[in-house]
Amino acid sequence: MTNNRFISEKIYLCTLFIWVVVASLVTTTYFIRLDGFLSLYRSLLYLTIFALLIKELLNMSKTLHYFRFHWKQLLVVIALFISMFIVAKNRDGMLDINVLLLVFSARDIDFRKLLGTFSLATFLVLCLTIYASKKGIISNMFMNADGGYRFSLGFNYVSFASQRMFFALCSYLMFRGKKITYMELLALFLATIYMYQQTSTSSPFYLSILILTYALFSLKIIKKGFIIENFWLKKIANYGFILALIITLYFCFYSSGNLFHLVDQFTHNRLRLSVEGFRNFGVSWLGQHIIFTTMDIFGNFTSNYNFIDSSFVQLLVIDGLVVSAFMLFALTKVMKYFVSIRKDIVLACLGIMIIHGMFDPQMLVLRYSPLILFISRLFIMNSDNNIE
């Protein structure tokens, strides 16, 4: 049984690593223009299902025994499957089926191993893409910016590299915890500075500096869990996702003209685009498939640009009320889980990711963020221990 668990764990982690690398390269970089990459991506979607099926067969008896005596967790799994099939209908089909299976199959993998694997895969994607763009193997988009240019570093859009660096940084901080060194923090800081110099993407830059500062004081200098040791911050952490949605809706519909304009200006018109998204598409029970109008064939923004940047607004508009209700329930339980096992840096990083998700769309996208994998903590089979 122990041998089966070891093998199944290695199968899962290797599958997750390969999936993140290949899916990211194909869907978010100019590697898609190279011969063979699209075929590789299509093969990946089916090979992932095959690998996870083998992993599940190795653990079949244990899984059946567990869910036989944990009917509440079984109900969560059923709700997850229903929600992700609705998401697949509205979004990327087979890609979302892959995400569903990766989330379900993560239930017996320690969260640190999930984070370590994810951050390694994400850093590899960054290094491969930037190297290939510098060597001229793939294209490098550039756009005019105040006083200079913004470069995509081989990604499909100029902000993607910085967004990916932000989630890699958060994943690595959660993975390393109190073991992180000053040199590692310095390396993450320098990488963040480099990304900002190249892409001029403000949101991930400022949030990265904020979480690095928190990690420096919390993990190295003062060595205190500021969130976990404060009653009110723990309460806020428990309901962070619900509070973020309420604040987002308040800004969209109830804020005064001056406050709306200030927030909209600070977020580069993303608040206005969220409001227009609600007006143009509405919110339904089971969501809807939407093809956003963004750029023309020459790479310029169109006059009828209507993309919704907010992860929370996308959740409501694209995925619908049923999926939104499940996600808010599940992610709130995730926050309570990490409060219960006193993972302060995890809560801090998740809090930063929540703020990021209010005005950026990557929060629940597994190619960028590991957050959705944490839903597996709701039906976890092997408790995460308290190693820091």
> How far is 304 from 306, CA to CA, in rounded Å?
6
Please tell me the predicted confidence (pLDDT) of residue 297: 58
For 22-91, what is the HEC assignment? HHHHHHHEHHHHCCCHHHHHHHHHHHHHHHHHHHHHHCHHHHHHHHHHCHHHHHHHHHHHHHHHHHHHHC
Which of these, 355, 348, 115, lies nearest to 214 by C-alpha position?
348
User: Mean pLDDT over all residues of the chain?
Assistant: 94
Please tell me the predicted confidence (pLDDT) of residue 303: 77
**123: Cβ–Cβ under 8 A, 6 or more apart, which residues?**
168, 172
Q: Are the C-beta atoms of residues 70 and 373 closer than 8 Å to each other?
A: no
Q: Are the C-beta atoms of residues 366 and 373 closer than 8 Å to each other?
A: yes
Please tell me the predicted confidence (pLDDT) of residue 2: 67
Please tell me the predicted confidence (pLDDT) of residue 342: 95
Q: Are the C-beta atoms of residues 269 and 251 closer than 8 Å to each other?
A: no
> How far is 62 from 1, CA to CA, in rounded Å?
9
> How far is 119 from 349, CA to CA, in rounded Å?
14
**Residue range 12-44, pLDDT digits in tens:** 999 999 999 999 999 999 999 999 999 999 999
pLDDT over threshold 80, residue 298: no
| 10 band by pLDDT with thresholds 50, 70 and 90 | very high
Compute and round to an integer the Cα radius of gyration of the chain. Answer: 21
**Residue range 98-141, pLDDT digits in tens:** 999 999 999 999 999 999 999 999 999 999 999 999 999 999 99
> How far is 258 from 289, CA to CA, in rounded Å?
34
Q: Residue 50 is encoded by which pair of tokens? A: 């095959």
pLDDT (mean) for 301-324: 94
pLDDT (mean) for 339-357: 97
Which of these, 235, 253, 252, 242, lies nearest to 324 by C-alpha position?
242
> How far is 117 from 14, CA to CA, in rounded Å?
8
**Residue range 45-103, pLDDT digits in tens:** 999 999 999 999 999 998 988 988 899 999 999 999 999 999 999 999 999 999 999 99
Which of these, 310, 363, 365, 299, lies nearest to 156 by C-alpha position?
299
pLDDT (mean) for 180-185: 98
Q: Are the C-beta atoms of residues 369 and 353 closer than 8 Å to each other?
A: yes
